[in-house]
Amino acid sequence: MKIGILTGGGDVPGLNPAIRAITLRAIREGHQIIGFRRGWAGLTDIIRDKEADNSNNFQALDENIVNKIGRTGGTFLHSSRTRPSRIAKESVPDHLKDKYTDDMNDLTPEVLANLNYLDVDYLIPIGGDDTLSYGAHLHNQGFKVIALPKTMDGDVPGTDYTIGFSTCVSRTIEMSHALRTSAGSHERFLVIEVFGRYAGFSALVPAMAGAADRCVIPEYKFNIEHLTELMVEDRRDNPSRYSVVLVSEGVMFEGADMVFKDAETDAYGHKKLGGIGDIVGKQLKELSAKFNNGKKINVINQNLGYLVRSGAPDAIDSLVPMAFGNIALNLISKGVSGRLVNLHKGKYGSAPLDIVTSYKKVVNIDAFYNTDRLCPKYTNFEDKSFFITTSDQE
């Protein structure tokens, strides 16, 4: 068979190990592997002409290509947030502009025609719920798809674990502890912004591991005065005279909405978030005098941003993608389609791919978040998933 692979959405450590695992197993079993560049964009932009140069859209993969890249972060196939079922008129490939002239265009017929043109039998998209939702759409159109979940936010439905999450948590803990030296030296509040648009796993789990005294997450609209009072209390009780809060990028103040950088949206309708950590920091400083004998407390603001998603994968994000890739080949060898490779309750397996569009996976506030203390709540670890909070709805 000929098997296609693509990586969509944001980059995370662990994508290249997944590509490597799929390629090595497939080639040793006699299959051909083709890697599509720039996520769904590569599959959309192909020119179906043997004389055309499609090197920017796909490439054949072999052991020599994937062996070294398996040790590195990011994705050597590149990525994008392209959604073929919703392509703006100005983004339609030049060779298709006469055919697709609406403000928004569905290029799914071109994607299916391109897969047929290249004789691809199976497609393995690796991505978050946005990327995989289109993979589910292709499966429902009759094309064979096996998907791998990745996102450092840890919020893909149907799996306890997503590629990239462990490295994100590890880096957040490491960098939070490193920043403590400056916060302690200057007796300040330390406000650390992390990714997490709708789900707060990437703030809550590091806080569970001791990265911060408090965390505020998108699932709960918090009161800034209450947070300030808690931070002043933490600082007062700390011999080094500082306190730390992790702030998810999608968090909202009580009575307010998300903070967006501008009105522009991506192909999946998401506006770019921007600057909530800075806003929280400014509010903390202004309100701190109320709880600190009339004296304001200075703030160190740090947005960890891409630092937690760049660089090499940690041990878990090297091991899990290897297992995920091999499970994908197991499913393909059985002729199965429309499955999401997953980790559930400590065991590898798979779930129906349509699960990625069935609900939003977010932190269970009642089970894992103390709304009075604005910090993790965890009293029972039995039967929980490896990362405690990342278990699916049940």
Q: Where are the domains of the chain?
A: 2-164+312-357, 167-308+365-376
Question: First and final CA of the chain: distance in angstroms?
Answer: 37
Cα distance between residue 153 and residue 362, in whole Å: 10
Helices (H), 293-358: 316-333
Q: How far is CA 11 from CA 88, 306, 340, 394, in A?
A: 23, 9, 19, 29
Q: Which residue has the tokens 């408090």?
A: 214
| CA 58 to the chain's CA centroid | 24
Number of H helices, E strands in the chain: 11, 17
176-190 residue pLDDT tens: 999 999 999 999 999
Selecting among 153, 160, 234, 317, the annotated active-site residue is: 153
Which CB contacts under 8 angstroms, 24+ apart, belong to 62-67?
A: 62/23, 62/27, 62/33, 63/23, 63/24, 63/27, 65/23, 66/16, 66/19, 66/20, 66/23, 66/24, 67/20, 67/24
- Whole-model pTM: value is 0.93
The reply to whether 366 belongs to the active site is no
Give me the residues of the chain with pLDDT under 70, please. 258, 260-274, 390-394
Q: Which CATH class is domain 2-164+312-357?
A: alpha beta
Hey, do 2-164+312-357 and 167-308+365-376 end up sharing a CATH topology, with the first three levels equal?
yes
24-45 residue pLDDT tens: 999 999 999 999 999 999 999 9
Amino acid 266: pLDDT: 54
- According to CATH, the superfamily of the domain at 167-308+365-376 is Phosphofructokinase domain (3.40.50.460)
